[in-house]
């Protein structure tokens, strides 16, 4: 006799619920970053990337022994990348891709901490930050560092969720990438310690220890090159007042998002199961500026705003979590926040996409220089000529001081003659270009080459500055 039970289909094993991480958010963020790549001209830091990447591998090692040693992993990457071309778009493309990668991990981290909508909102907020448009269209490693930091928090969440060896290996790799992309990106790693549990203590500290080896090596190299950052002034706690603008790229938007981030921390804290992650995310946001200033006070001045771009994803994530935690109207709130953010940062988005968006407008300077036959040009800082060589597409004045086409092996300058008066002999007009204001070169001895030209018997005829600090100054001197 057949019963109903025997006719019933066999029970299926419980299936794991599939989750979907919207990959298109990475395209949105990467596209927002890439939209600024073709307008703003390369600045001195980006030209240093070109100079370093164009050298041979032994040449890069020699450079790293004297300056920018902590950028060596990035320079090695750009060495091979630039073999395919040196156009602005091509050189900046890796940074835009890194922003897209950071956005993808941000979406999935938000999903893991709360929901897909939290991750999507966080990535959308991240995409509209002017700082993302700046560093995502910048041929330096700051976007790489931000992506590595988000990856490290994502990898740590996976490892804590299911403590198996392969996940801790991934976490160790993520920590190594953080340490390799920028030396001061390691300032986020203490925030990871808020997530230590007794059952994962050994594996987590092993992964951290192995992953931190690049930081130890690059830190020792950087400590020996302190002279290269002697230009950084000593700062005090007042710099923290500028932190919202630094992280977001716009003051109004930064203050709004910081307030939302505080709300996100409070809401996470109220969910008792998330308190460790609340501390970790808050640490991600606030520890880097605190620790960077501490290093500045205790070791050597190193507080530079761009070193803290790694906090921008934390600001966006906490804001996204705050909006997503609203019981109702989270979609409306997200739209309002994004529209308000765009309105508050509109001018900054315009500025960062202008030709002078990186505050060193070399094409403008080339337009100012109206060379006549036998005109000479003298560079106030030797490395400035790298940009003129990159952008010049017409007849340039004679570079009377340069004695070799290859940059110095231990820096970004070029070999030059020291006898300025002899080099200018027979020249009626001399163009002098320097990084900085007109006052910095024409008063005092801030730019020694200007004084040497004047002592050689020339007087100022005109001087123009590109408008934003530090900017470039172009001056014409004529024979007395």
CB 309 within 8 A of CB 135: yes
Burial class (CB in 10 A: 0-12, 13-18, 19+), 66: middle
CB 341 within 8 A of CB 257: yes
Give the residue from 462, 472, 447, 314 showing the smallest Cα distance to 388: 472
Domain chopping of the chain, boundaries: 24-352, 362-479
Torsion of CA 134, 136, 138, 140, to 10 degrees: 120
Angle of helix 251-270 versus helix 330-344 axis, rounded to 10: 150
Residue 152: the pLDDT is 98
Angle of helix 24-34 versus helix 116-127 axis, rounded to 10: 10
Name the one residue in this structure whose structure tokens are 């907020």. 125
* Span between the terminal Cα atoms of the chain, in Å: 121
The arithmetic mean of pLDDT across residues 16-21, rounded, is: 51
Structure tokens at 471: 């900017």
Which residues are within 8 A (CB) of 225 and not within 5 positions of it... i.e. 6 or more apart? Answer: 66, 67, 68, 69
Residue 272: the pLDDT is 67
The arithmetic mean of pLDDT across residues 411-422, rounded, is: 94
State percent of the chain over pLDDT 90: 76
The arithmetic mean of pLDDT across residues 371-388, rounded, is: 93
Structure tokens at 65: 């022994």
Rounded CA-CA distance 436/469 in Å is: 7
Give the residue from 129, 159, 180 showing the smallest Cα distance to 311: 129
CB 130 within 8 A of CB 40: no
Number of helical (H) and strand (E) elements in the chain, helices listed first: 23, 5
Rounded CA-CA distance 459/82 in Å is: 42
Cβ atoms < 10 Å from Cβ of 20: 7
Give the residue from 475, 477, 447, 472 showing the smallest Cα distance to 364: 472
Structure tokens at 94: 């890796």
Name the one residue in this structure whose structure tokens are 């990348």. 81
> pLDDT by residue (tens digit) across 422-476?
999 999 999 999 999 999 999 888 899 999 999 999 999 999 998 877 899 999 9
Does residue 6 have a pLDDT over 70? no
Per DSSP, what are the bridge partners of residue 464? 474
Query: 411 φ, ψ to 5°?
Result: -175, -165
Rounded CA-CA distance 441/451 in Å is: 8
> pLDDT by residue (tens digit) across 296-324?
999 889 999 999 999 999 999 999 999 99
Cβ atoms < 10 Å from Cβ of 19: 10
> pLDDT by residue (tens digit) across 197-253?
999 999 999 999 999 999 999 988 888 887 777 778 898 888 888 999 999 999 999
Provide the sign of the torsion angle of the four alpha carbons 154, 160, 163, 165, taken in this order: positive
**Order of all β-strands in the sheet with 398-399:** 398-399, 376-379, 429-435, 472-479, 458-465
Does residue 48 have a pLDDT over 90? yes
The arithmetic mean of pLDDT across residues 167-183, rounded, is: 97
CB 47 within 8 A of CB 383: yes
**Residues in the chain, total:** 480
Give the residue from 116, 137, 140, 127 showing the smallest Cα distance to 27: 127
What average pLDDT does the structure give for the chain?
A: 90
- Integer-rounded Cα Rg, in Å, for the chain is 26
Residue 129: the pLDDT is 96
Strands 429-435, 376-379: parallel, antiparallel or unpaired by DSSP? Answer: parallel
Name the one residue in this structure whose structure tokens are 């009377």. 400
> pLDDT by residue (tens digit) across 74-120?
999 999 999 999 999 999 999 999 999 999 999 999 999 999 999 99
Angle of helix 165-181 versus helix 72-81 axis, rounded to 10: 90
> pLDDT by residue (tens digit) across 332-350?
999 999 999 999 999 999 9
Give the residue from 177, 162, 176 showing the smallest Cα distance to 206: 176
Name the one residue in this structure whose structure tokens are 């995310």. 281
Structure tokens at 227: 């002279």
CA angle 298, 304, 308 (to 5 degrees): 100
Which residues are within 8 A (CB) of 452 and not within 5 positions of it... i.e. 6 or more apart? Answer: 420, 421
Q: Poorest-confidence range of 129-133, 290-294, 367-371?
A: 367-371
Give the residue from 180, 155, 146 showing the smallest Cα distance to 69: 180
Residue 21: the pLDDT is 61
């Amino acid at each position: 006799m057949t019963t109903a039970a025997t006719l019933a289909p066999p029970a299926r094993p419980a299936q794991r619920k599939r989750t979907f991480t919207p990959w298109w958010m990475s395209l949105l963020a990467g596209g927002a970053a890439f939209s600024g790549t073709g307008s703003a001209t390369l600045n001195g830091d980006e030209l240093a990337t070109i100079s370093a990447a164009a050298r041979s591998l032994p040449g890069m090692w020699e450079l790293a022994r004297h300056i920018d040693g902590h950028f060596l992993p990035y320079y090695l990457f750009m060495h091979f990348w630039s073999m395919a071309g040196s156009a602005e778009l091509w050189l900046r493309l890796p940074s835009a891709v890194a922003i897209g990668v950071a956005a993808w991990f941000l979406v999935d981290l938000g999903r893991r901490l709360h929901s897909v909508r939290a991750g999507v909102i966080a990535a959308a907020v991240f995409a509209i930050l002017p700082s993302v448009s700046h560093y995502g269209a910048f041929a330096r490693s700051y976007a790489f560092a931000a992506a590595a930091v988000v990856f490290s928090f994502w990898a740590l969440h996976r490892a804590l969720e299911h403590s198996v060896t392969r996940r801790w290996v991934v976490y160790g790799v993520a920590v190594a990438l953080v340490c390799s992309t920028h030396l001061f990106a390691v300032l986020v790693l203490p925030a990871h310690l808020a997530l230590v549990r007794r059952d994962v203590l050994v594996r987590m500290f092993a992964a951290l220890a192995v992953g931190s080896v690049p930081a130890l090596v690059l830190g020792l190299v950087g400590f020996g090159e302190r002279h290269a950052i002697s230009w950084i002034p000593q700062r005090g706690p007042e710099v923290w007042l500028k932190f919202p603008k630094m992280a977001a790229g716009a003051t109004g938007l930064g203050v709004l998002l910081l307030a939302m981030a505080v709300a996100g921390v409070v809401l996470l804290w109220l969910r008792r199961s998330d308190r460790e992650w609340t501390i970790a995310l808050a640490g991600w946001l606030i520890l880097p500026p605190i620790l960077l200033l501490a290093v500045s006070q205790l070791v050597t001045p190193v507080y530079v705003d761009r070193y803290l771009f790694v906090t921008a994803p934390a600001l966006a994530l906490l804001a996204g979590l705050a909006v997503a935690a609203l019981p109702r109207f989270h979609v409306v709130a997200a739209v309002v926040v994004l529209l308000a953010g765009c309105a508050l940062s509109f001018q900054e988005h315009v500025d960062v996409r202008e030709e002078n968006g990186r505050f060193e407008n070399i094409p403008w300077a080339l337009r100012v220089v109206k060379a006549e036959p036998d005109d000479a040009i003298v560079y106030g800082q030797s490395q400035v000529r790298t940009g003129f060589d990159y952008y010049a597409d017409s007849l340039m004045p004679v570079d009377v001081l340069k004695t070799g086409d290859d940059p110095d092996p231990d820096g970004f300058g070029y070999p030059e003659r020291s006898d300025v008066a002899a080099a200018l002999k027979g020249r009626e007009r001399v163009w002098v270009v320097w990084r900085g204001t007109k006052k910095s070169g024409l008063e005092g001895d801030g730019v020694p080459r200007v004084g040497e030209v004047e002592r050689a018997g020339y007087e100022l005829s005109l001087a123009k500055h590109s408008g934003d600090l530090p900017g470039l100054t172009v001056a014409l001197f004529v024979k007395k």
